[in-house]
Homo-oligomer: A and B are copies of this chain.
Amino acid sequence: MKDITPQQQKVLDCIQVYINKTGFPPTRADICRELGFKSPNSAETHLRALEKKGFISIESGASRGISINNPEITHLENEYPIVGLVAAGSPTLASENVEKVLNCPKGFFGSDFDYFLRVRGLSMKDAGIMEDDLIAVKKTQEIKNGDIVIARIEDEVTVKYFQRSAPNIIHLKPANEEFSDIEVNLEETELYIEGKSVGLIREN
């Protein structure tokens, strides 16, 4: 997917908003009205550029024949993707990792959140986090000691309690006697915090 220009982004956003609002895509004239253009050809050229770059598809000849490609990344309001514990490198929300989407009211857990993570393993069992549970993950770097974080150490993604023991030493603590602490020295090992848990859902 090539780079998008600021104006093209505005047009793309406009299409998304229009679809969310009305349920069907805009015409060239609609886009002009929304963005203040005075000629339908302004919209037309932007649409053709977006199509060429792969952001949208246009059904030729059909009225309102615009559809947005990769809608799972710009997820609809209230639709949250469920992702598995994925290996590093691949972006967490890439469509190939999305198991399905779950309809959930915004602010369901008091705090905003970005996606659900499907839990593997029992390392957080004593915190009441069981296999196959869905953790509501908020992508943030604002972590306090004791928070349950989704951390990536080199190639592995895990869910653990966060504790900073020294400026450069972080302990990732499981909630299960059978597992042991992970000590991370930030000078030696790369640690990336994907976000923290703000809630949990169990389906059974």
Seen from chain A, the residues whose Cβ lies within 8 Å of a Cβ on chain B are: 22-25, 27, 57, 59, 62-68, 73, 78, 102-105, 108-110, 125-130, 133, 197-204
Q: Give, as a whole number of angstroms, the nearest-CB distance from A96 to chain B.
A: 20
Number of copies: 2
Q: What is the CA–CA distance of A138 and B173 in the complex, to the nearest angstrom? A: 35
Given contacts A78-B73, A104-B105, A128-B125, contact A64 B24 (CB under 8 A): yes
Q: What is the CA–CA distance of A73 and B76 in the complex, to the nearest angstrom? A: 12
Q: Give, as a whole number of angstroms, the nearest-CB distance from A115 to chain B.
A: 16
Q: Give, as a whole number of angstroms, the nearest-CB distance from A190 to chain B.
A: 28
Q: What are 12 A-B contacts with C-beta separation under 8 Å?
A: A22-B65, A102-B108, A103-B108, A108-B203, A109-B203, A127-B130, A128-B128, A128-B129, A128-B202, A199-B203, A199-B204, A201-B202
Using Cβ atoms and an 8 Å threshold, which residues of chain B touch A125? 126, 128
Q: Give, as a whole number of angstroms, the nearest-CB distance from A113 to chain B.
A: 11
